[in-house]
Amino acid sequence: MADPIVVAEGLHKSFGDTHALRGLDLSVPRGTVCGVLGPNGAGKTTAVRILATLSDPDAGHARIAGHDVVREADEVRRRIGLAGQYAAVDEKLTGRGNLRMFGRLYHLPRREARRRADELLERFGLLDAADRRVVGYSGGMRRRLDLVASLILRPEVLFLDEPTTGLDPRGRGEIWDMVRELVADGTTVLLTTQYLEEADRLADDIAVIDGGKVVATGTPDELKAAIGDRLDVVLADPGALRPAAVVLNALAGTDPAMTGADRLSVALPAGGLRLADIVRELDRAGVAAADVSLRRPTLDEVFLRLTDREETAR
């Protein structure tokens, strides 16, 4: 595995009586996408703000490309880009004008700022709209321009804090394509998202945050395998839901979720059970099943299990 370019160790951060981070640890290998998942208030944005030098931790340390985010903040800022869930571009300027302005804010010489703006507009498909004012851009185009603005300095690490919030599927797909292209060029991306499908498609590794700390890490497949397979049962008689639930609880050690008028679903312990054994136990209880199937859990179900949320998919 590549050496980590983002490292956080024991980060703590409080706001008054609210503990946003409680000893958060994180390691992101160079040239990968790390998806950071967590319920609202889990500490995702606070962690990103600390890593991006926008806030200091109360305790703990973090490094970007070997540079401490507090003691060497200027060195860190030269190596990172940040795009949030709300576009930071100026609506009164054109797309080209925005990028040139960002270049100057980053202290690029005027000629270099113009050249870099034109290069990025062409690379990411915004050239046709470059001389239109941003107020006339679609939501997806604004978000793409905002992401492009974060690339002015060719960052080694790009922080994307819920970058596709509010976008339609096409807009999300355009952002996903941009992320894939950047990673192919060697950029490391740390992505917080509320879309589980987004993390499943983009992330090499996932860190699940809950209560201000990382509660699980791994690839999407590793996290799915760790919580065991999912058992779905369709009953021949919806009136048999109660006895079927009793059987499934005994087999799985947890209450099944009702996913339809005649359907139950439950997570099986790692190692699982054979379908033949499950059907036999249902038969013994007088429960006729129209269908019994095992499947790998979705990332939504992994998230709900790891954060102890109600066993109901979003």
User: In angstroms, rounded to a whole number, what is the distance separating the alpha carbons of residues 153 and 102?
Assistant: 10
Spatial contact of 51 and 64, defined as CB atoms under 8 Å apart = yes
Range(s) of the chain covered by CATH 3.40.50.300: 4-224
The number of helix segments (H) and strand segments (E) in the chain equals 11, 14
> Higher model confidence: residue 217 or residue 304?
217
Spatial contact of 24 and 214, defined as CB atoms under 8 Å apart = yes
Residue 313's pLDDT is 34
Say if residue 176 is exposed, middle or buried (CB neighbours under 10 Å; 0-12, 13-18, 19+).
Answer: middle
Spatial contact of 92 and 135, defined as CB atoms under 8 Å apart = yes
Spatial contact of 285 and 247, defined as CB atoms under 8 Å apart = yes
Question: pTM for this structure?
Answer: 0.82
Q: Which two tokens stand for residue 210?
A: 């809950």
Round the average pLDDT of the chain to a whole number and report it: 91
Pick the CATH number of 4-224 from 3.60.110.10, 3.30.200.20, 3.40.50.300, 3.40.50.800: 3.40.50.300
Give per-residue pLDDT as tens, 114-163: 999 999 999 998 999 999 999 999 988 998 999 999 999 999 999 999 88
Residue 271's pLDDT is 65
Give per-residue pLDDT as tens, 227-245: 788 899 999 999 999 999 9
Helices 169-184, 139-149: crossing angle, 10 deg rounding: 20
Element (H, E) at 23: strand 18-29
User: What is the domain class of 228-296 according to CATH?
Assistant: alpha beta
pLDDT at 310 over 50: no
What type of residue is 60? G
Antiparallel, parallel or unpaired: β 67-68 and 59-64: antiparallel
Give per-residue pLDDT as tens, 44-69: 999 999 999 999 999 999 999 999 99
